[in-house]
A and B are shown apart, each in its own frame.
Chain A
Amino acid sequence: MGANYPSFNDTEPLYIQIAQWLEDKIVTGQLAADEQIPSTTELSQTLRINPATIRKGVNILVDKGLVYKKRGMGMYVAENANQNVRDDRRVKFYDDYIRPLITEAQRLGISPDDIIEMLKGGDGK
């Protein structure tokens, strides 16, 4: 993996992690609407990942309509991409964050009320 860039974890297939990493950039606004995303070649060389894998990852964003192609110019972030990623992630929020939270809380014997208290308190103290 390229210096200073994420070493992706080993659980998910690489191309899915690349798609998630790009979506992160869209959600945080690091890649804004109508901004160009790095080319396959740039991503491949920087992340030290095979271009076929990169293309597969970028294609997930294309299929979701989060990026669009300008002929001969490259890929650009779609107008409503930020909102779409947010909506998408909201749907998955329960599975991705709440479910593991509940599992761990049950292991530790933390009650739902305690969790609510922690959420209200912000830092959990």
Chain B
Amino acid sequence: MSKMEFDSICKDYRKKTALSGVSFTVAKGSIYGLLGRNGAGKTTLVNMAGNRDFPTSGKVKLDGEDVKENDRALRRIYCSGAEELIPTYMRVRDVLASMRYFYKDTDTDYALELCKKFRLEPAKKLSQLSTGYRIIAKDIFALASGVEFIFMDEPTLGLDPNHRELLYKCILERFSDTESAFVISTHQIDECAGLFERCLILKEGRLIADEDSDKLRRSAYIAEGKTADVDAFTSGKEVLNRTTVGTLCSACVKGEPAGVPDSIEISRPTLQQLLIALTGGGV
């Protein structure tokens, strides 16, 4: 099975380190969630997969070959994101036609079918589309690219709930047909949780989790009760975050609950709750 390796990726900008020592593998036949707060490095990472940005050190490899300026590898990878890299004076159908020069297996018929499903007029120029439809157009290009590794950076940005549902369905449909690897970065965590077989979590440029989604969610628990009871119970344990309301407390704790006293109630965090606990701040 083909795979992409991100090997010790570091990216330094003049004043800021965007990524440090990020290593993980993306294999065909899986859907990955690339999660993390704004500025965590998700887009930088996606850009590196697509030859739009380059690591300061480390390599992105496809089946062992560096993808940097390597057309043979890059033809097998498609990256779509919020940045405007396609000239907006182009019509949707012309983008599809031109894609075929680089991505030989671009499936135009399938793309037009998707346009119909999303009610996107392929004769329209990208500049004539609303914010949501511009993202939909990019999602369609990605889905129809026919490549083995598809990176979608925030594919639901500006999409209404109906379109988001439809997009999830289309991604799963395409995935079933092609077994392409999908790497999807998103902030719609709970909505997408079921989509991901594995989650990659970035925090301030470091990869803090690369784990099966279910296992990840069960790697922590929430303990609720009176603040004094919760604090006594969680003392010596790794508390990810802690919220108090009046005399009550709820703490997200790493590991498996054991020896739980009657005064403490245990539940599981949602993926979103866990992500907030793991990536910290802002709550």
Contact = CB atoms under 8 A, between A and B. Distances in A.
A, B assembled together: yes
Interface string A4-46: 0000101101110000000000000000000000001100111
A13 B217 contact: yes
Contacts of B217: 10, 13
A51 B180 CA distance: 13
B172 interface: yes
A19 to B, nearest CB: 13
B269 interface: yes
Interface stretch (B65-73, B74-82, B194-202, B231-239): B194-202
B110 to A, nearest CB: 15
A83 interface: no
30 contacts: A1-B194, A2-B165, A3-B165, A8-B194, A10-B268, A10-B270, A11-B268, A13-B214, A13-B217, A13-B218, A14-B194, A14-B214, A41-B176, A44-B172, A44-B176, A45-B169, A45-B176, A48-B165, A48-B172, A48-B195, A49-B194, A50-B31, A50-B172, A50-B194, A50-B196, A50-B213, A51-B175, A52-B30, A53-B194, A53-B197
What are the 6 closest A-B residue pairs judged by CB atoms, nearest first?
A49-B194, A13-B214, A48-B168, A10-B270, A41-B176, A50-B197
A46 B228 CA distance: 45
B12 interface: no
A47 B217 CA distance: 19
| Size class of the A contact interface (CB-based, 8 Å) | 20 to 34
| Size class of the B contact interface (CB-based, 8 Å) | 20 to 34
A73 to B, nearest CB: 18
Contacts of A40: 176
B38 interface: no
Contacts of B30: 52
A48 B169 CA distance: 6
A49 B165 contact: no
A51 to B, nearest CB: 6
B267 A48 contact: no
B173 interface: yes
A50 B197 CA distance: 6
Contacts of B173: 41, 45
Nearest to A18: B194
Given A10-B268, A13-B218, A50 B176 contact: no
Contacts of A15: 214
Nearest to B214: A13
